[in-house]
Structure 1
Amino acid sequence: MLSSLLRDHFAPHPPLRFDGYYTRTQTEDGATIAVIFCWMKGAKKRGNLILVLYDTPHDRRGGLASFKYEFYPEHFDVTTGEFVRGRPQSFTITAPGLGSMKVTPETIEYDVSVPDKSLRLHLLLTNHKPWSNAHPLEGPMGSVLHISHFLPLNWHVRSTQSIATFQVAHGDATIRGTGHAHPEKNWGSSFPRGWIWAQSFSADGKHTLCLAGGEALPGIQAYLVGYRSPVCPDWDFRPPWAFGLGSFAPFMQVRRDPVKGEVEITLSTWSRKLHVLITAPPDTFVGVPGPLKDGHQPNYCHESFQAKVTVQASCRRWPGAKWELVEDAVLGQTADGTNCGALEFGGSYGHGKHA
C-alpha cells in the first residue's frame, strides 16, 4: 500500500465525496483575493462551487471595491497528470464557461472570466514554501495522514507562503500586482459541525500562521496549527497535544467569541508553548458557502480578512521548568499597520447572529 506521506494530497481524491481548494492572496496594501474550487459528489443541489472574492480594508474613490461571487457550475472537468511517487502531481480543474485552476509541481494558476458580471481574474502562484522542508509533500496532519481514509475531513496546505502575481478586473476598475498567497485544500465526506480557521502573514513576510480545528466528532475537539518564523522554523501542534475530550484538554485551551470576533488559543507540548490571540471587527465578516453532504450551504462560514494576530512562543528545557518567552510577534498587519489577517468561524461556531 502506498504510504500516505509519499503521495500528493493536494491532488484530487476521486474515491471520496468532496475535494475543495482554497487560495487566499494578500496584496501589498492588505486586501484579500480569495478563490475556491470545490465539488461535492451526490449533492442534491449546489454540488459544484467557484467562489471569487475581493475584500479591501480601504475605501478609495475610483478604486476596486469589495465584491463576492458564488458560481455553481453544472460540472467540472478534472484531468490529472502522471503520478510520480514522492513528487507533486499536475492536474487541471475546468468549469466550462467560467474558468480553470491549473496545477503543476511548480505553479498554481487560476483563470476566471465571467463577462456578464464584468469579472476577470488571473492569479499565478510560484515559489512555494512547503509545510515541511524535510518532507515537502507533508502538510499539517503529519503522520495522521496514515488514517486519513477513516476521517470525515482532512486538511492539506500546499504552501505556507507563495509569491502571487495577479490581475483582477471588475466593472470599470482593474488592479494588478504581487502579494503573498496561501493555497490549501480539504477532502473527505463533509465539513464538521463547527470549526475555526485562521491564516496570516507578518509584514516582513518572515512569519506565517495557519490553524484549523474544532468539533472533530461529538465531544471531541482537535486542532492542527503551524507557526513558522526564523526563531520557530517548524512549530507544529496536532493531536494528541492539540486535542480535547469533553472538558479534558491538558495541553490546549481555546476561547472563541464569534460575536466579538475573537479567538484565543494556547497549545503546548513538553517543551514548546504557543499562545495566539486573533481579533477582528465584527462588521468585517463575510458569508462564504460550506460543503455539506447535500451540497454547498450559503453563509455556512463567516470570514474576516481584517484580523490582527499576536503570537507568543515559549520554550522550556524539561517538564515542570519555567517557560521562557522566545518570540512575541504581530502578524496580520501591513507595514503601515493595516490589519489584514484572516479569521473564520464555521457552522455552529458561526459569527454573530449565526452563532
Structure 2
Amino acid sequence: MGGIAHLSRLLPLNWHVRSTASIARYTLTHAGVTREGGGLAHIEKNWGSSFPRGWIWSQSLALDAGKTLCLAGGTALPGIHAYLVGYRSPACTWDFRPPFAVAVGHIAPFMRVRHDSVAGTVDLRVQTWTRKLVVKMQAPVDSFVGLPAPLKNGHKPEYAFESFAASTWISAWHRRWPFGKWILVEKGPCGQTAEGGPCAALEFGGSFSHRVGK
C-alpha cells in the first residue's frame, strides 16, 4: 500500500494477497495414517475490525496455463461497493482497484457485478481506461459449505458459504487509448484440475448469501 498504508485503519477491512501460486509441501496425519504431498498455495492476509455486511470472494488457478485469479469485494461503506481483482497469466499482470473497481450507489462507470447465490453464479466486468477483464463463475448449488466469519463481536458460524468446485471463465481485453476499440488478449477457463475438472473457490458472505440467517 506504500505511503497510504496508514489510511488502512479508516477501513473496516483490508485484504492483501501475498501470492497466488507459492510452492507448498504438506504432511497430514489422521486416524494413524500419514499423507505427504505438494502443491501450490494461495497466501493472503485480512485485517480490520470486521468482515463487511456482504461480500464475494473467489480464487482460481489453471496450473497448465499459468493463470491465476483472485477477487474480493462487496459492501465497503454504506452506499459504496468496492472490489479488488488480480489476474495473472503469461500475457497479463493486471490489478483492478478503486477508483475504477467501485460503485457509489448505482453509479459504476468502470464496473458491473451480478451475483446470485441461489444459482451459485457471479458475473463481473471491471476495467480501467485501457484494460478490461470479464469474469464468469458458476458453482453447483449443493457444493457450498458453511463457514464462520469474523465480525465485531467474534466469529459467527455459517456467515459465509463457500464452494471449491466452481468453474471460472475469463476474457481479457486491451486498447491502446481511452475510447479506442477493445482488442481481445486472451480468453478461456481459469480454475481447473490437471484432469480438467472445476476446482475454483467461490464464496458468498453475509447479505450476499441467501443462506445466511436461514
2:44 maps to which residue? 184
Shift of 1:328: 0.4
Q: For 2:134, which of 259, 275, 279 is the aligned residue? A: 275
Q: For 2:13, which of 130, 153, 156 is the aligned residue? A: 153
1:72-91 aligned at under 5 Å gives the runs none
User: Do 1:275 and 1:312's aligned partners in 2 also have CA atoms closer than 8 Å?
Assistant: yes
Q: For 1:325, which of 184, 197, 204 is the aligned residue? A: 184
Letter paired with 2:127: S
Q: In 1, distance between residues paired with 2:73 and 2:25? A: 30
Letter paired with 1:339: P
Aligned sequence identity (%) = 59
Q: Does 1:347 align with 2:211?
A: no
Shift of 1:351: 4.8
SS at match of 1:147: helix
1:77 maps to which residue? none
Q: TM-score, normalised by structure 2?
A: 0.94
Q: Does 1:293 align with 2:147?
A: no
Q: For 1:255, which of 114, 126, 133 is the aligned residue? A: 114
Work out the number of aligned pairs and report it.
Answer: 214
RCO higher in structure (CA 8 A, sep ≥6): 2
Name the larger-Rg structure.
1
Q: In 1, distance between residues paired with 2:157 and 2:212? A: 15
Structure 1 residues 274, 291: closer, same or farther in 2, change over 3 A? same
Deviation sequence 1:51-70 (CA, Å, 0-9, x none) = xxxxxxxxxxxxxxxxxxxx
Q: In 2, distance between residues paired with 1:259 and 1:175? A: 36
Q: Does 1:215 align with 2:75?
A: yes
Name stretches of at least 5 consecutive residues in structure 2 with no aligned partner: none
Name stretches of at least 5 consecutive residues in structure 1 with no aligned partner: 6-142
1:171 maps to which residue? 31
User: Do 2:73 and 2:81's aligned partners in 1 also have CA atoms closer than 8 Å?
Assistant: yes
Q: In 2, distance between residues paired with 1:247 and 1:342? A: 28
Shift of 1:173: 4.9
2:104 maps to which residue? 245
Q: In 1, distance between residues paired with 2:213 and 2:167? A: 22
Structure 1 residues 172, 262: closer, same or farther in 2, change over 3 A? farther
Q: 4+ runs of 1 displaced by more than 6 Å? A: none
Higher strand share: 2
Q: TM-score, normalised by structure 1?
A: 0.58
Q: In 2, distance between residues paired with 1:309 and 1:283? A: 17
SS at match of 1:161: strand
CA RMSD of aligned residues (A): 1.7
1:30 maps to which residue? none
1:28-43 aligned at under 5 Å gives the runs none
